[in-house]
Amino acid sequence: MSYTALARKYRPRSFAEMSGQEHVLRALINALQEGRVHHAFLFTGTRGVGKTTIARIFAKCLNCETGVTATPCGECAACQDIDAGRFVDLLEVDAASRTKVEDTRDLLDNVQYLPSRGRYKVYLIDEVHMLSAHSFNALLKTLEEPPPHVKFLLATTDPQKLPVTVLSRCLQFNLKRLSVAVIAVRLTQIMQMEGIAAEPVALRQVAVAADGSMRDALSLLDQLLAFGSTQGITEADARAMLGTVDRNQVLGLARALAGGDIGAVLEQARALEQWSPDYQQMLDELNSLLARVALYQAAGSSWDEEETPVETLAELAAAITAEDLQLYYQIGLLGRRDLPLASDVRSAFAMTLVRMLAFRPGGVADAPPARGSAPATTPSQMRNASPAAMGRSTASAASTSMSASAPALEPANWNHIVELLEVSGLARQLAINCALLGREGAVVRLALDARSQSMRMPASEDKLAAALSKLYGQTLRVAIEVGVAAPQATPARERDRLSDEAAQAARESLDADPAIAVMRRQFGATIFAESVRPNRNEES
């Protein structure tokens, strides 16, 4: 019973079937269509990104019986023979096994003869950087001035080892690593053609593990098909085969960090032992999750919804401050670097988690309180608190007593109030796109600009209410209404108005400039109004 590996079975047969590498395909297709085909091409890039595949398709384009074309028919004898690897005028050479100068000379002895069947004699030399210095010297003259019926296609994973004399004689194309999305799409197509059900998350795990190589992805997919059931492949199968930890375990670890309880964090880490995880990979996944949460905090949108649901990102973004996220991420990176140096990787992983909480500003005692509750300080926390934390507590009390100097909560003062608020990120953007309607007891009523209603999120509202409460020394809540007319413009609209006025003044200044008038009269100069910007020094 014969079986063809997926990497061979689904090798692209035309440029249209290629995944990614559009920058290379565009150049080759244009060269073929315009009849400007160079005699030597060098394809570089990491393993499995399509170097030899593109070279073989290019050989088909040159020798297709329908003529030189960017879309070979795939049905003529030449196309079928090239696909089957038996075309006599396509000479594929593995430079890794033929490094001697005698091998190169034997190869070049036949260059002068016309092709036997095809239009061109094509030399495809793979891993060309493995040739010896003498072999390169023997190749140079032929590579520079080959007969008109010969084309050289060179491929290498290490172009730095090629002599500059060879590089200067070739058109060089650098093939990029394929993105996870491109690989996942191709894997999905193959599973559909195979008629096998596959969970999208499982295929994405394979695409991530492939590290930019389509061939590696297809080899892993072959392995996953052998590992999983005949009914289809699941996320659990993919994680078990790849040795990755369930993402719910990573989320549990992140939630324990958000709670600020070292005991809970270590308990969560101890629960990972049943998976026998790769702790370096575990830190990578934790750092990746922290980065997505930080991006969500900053932009208010998900970086990759397939990897982590928006609801989970919103939960963690509300529970962890931006400063703590950056600290956790940096300590995670340093721990990832130092992990191989430890004699006990498990303990080193636990130590990295402890550092995340122990070295937070103010220590573990400053863990963020649950939403809607006031922070409680126990006697043990007071004893363990650092002097810096005690200093900040004193400063916080002082700021509360000074809240009487804050401007009155009136619509006309909102711009000044926003400037005084200790808030950043999405919460600040929410504040500057609101206008103050008034205050009713402990409720501050705000009108949100309709064009900015996407900024209205529970986490942002909570942070804005906390900042107002801190500024005025009392517990306040915010009630936001969208699109309601307000007595004053929002700070954002006021800023836009001032900017427009400054730009208009700059345009009028240019129109009145005598030098500009001379240039218009003598040279027909034109000022593009949208390109005019006010002088920032004058604005200030």
Report how far residue 538's alpha carbon sits from residue 209's, in angstroms, rounded to the nearest whole number: 54
Per-residue DSSP letter, 1: -
Q: In the structure, what pLDDT confidence band is assigned to residue 303 with cuts at 50, 70 and 90? A: low
Residue 444 pLDDT: 92
**Residue 353, φ and ψ in degrees, nearest 5:** -65, -40
Say which range, 18-32, 307-321, 351-365, 398-412, has the weakest mean pLDDT: 398-412
Say which range, 417-426, 476-485, 502-511, has the weakest mean pLDDT: 502-511
* CA dihedral sign, ordered 98, 99, 100, 105: positive
Q: In the structure, what pLDDT confidence band is assigned to residue 70 with cuts at 50, 70 and 90? A: very high
pLDDT tens sequence across 53-64: 999 999 999 999
Q: Which of 38, 45, 76, 44 is nearest to 60 (CA)?
A: 76
Q: Are strands 434-440 and 443-448 parallel, antiparallel or unpaired?
A: antiparallel
Does the pLDDT at position 371 exceed 50?
Answer: no
Residue 275 pLDDT: 66
Q: In the structure, what pLDDT confidence band is assigned to residue 90 with cuts at 50, 70 and 90? A: very high
Report all structural domains of the chain as residue ranges with CATH numbers, in order of start: 6-174 (3.40.50.300), 180-242 (1.10.8.60), 247-365 (1.20.272.10), 406-488 (3.30.300.150), 494-539 (no CATH)
Please give the residue that has the higher pLDDT: either 538 or 498.
498
- Between CA 24 and CA 27, with CA 26 as vertex, the angle to 5 degrees is 70
Sheet with 477-482, strands from edge to edge, namely: 434-440, 443-448, 477-482
pLDDT tens sequence across 94-103: 887 777 778 7
pLDDT tens sequence across 146-181: 889 999 999 999 999 999 999 999 999 999 999 888
Report how far residue 349's alpha carbon sits from residue 327's, in angstroms, rounded to the nearest whole number: 16
Residue 39 pLDDT: 92
Per-position b or e across 279-295, b if 16+ CB within 10 A of its CB? beebbbbbbbbbebbbb
Residue carrying structure tokens 């000479």: 91
Cβ neighbours of 445 (radius 10 Å) = 19
What mean pLDDT is predicted for residues 201-215?
A: 88
pLDDT tens sequence across 434-450: 999 988 888 999 998 88
Does the pLDDT at position 30 exceed 90?
Answer: yes
Please give the residue that has the higher pLDDT: either 300 or 142.
142
Residue 80 pLDDT: 92
What mean pLDDT is predicted for residues 41-50?
A: 92
Contact 48, 214 (CB under 8 A): yes
CA distances from 14 to 43, 218, 262, 367 (A): 17, 18, 57, 58
Report how far residue 355's alpha carbon sits from residue 314's, in angstroms, rounded to the nearest whole number: 25
> Does the model's pTM come out above 0.85?
no
Per-residue DSSP letter, 229: B
Report how far residue 61's alpha carbon sits from residue 54's, in angstroms, rounded to the nearest whole number: 10
Range with the largest mean pLDDT of 94-98, 184-188, 390-394? 184-188
Residue 15 pLDDT: 92
Does the pLDDT at position 381 exceed 60?
Answer: no
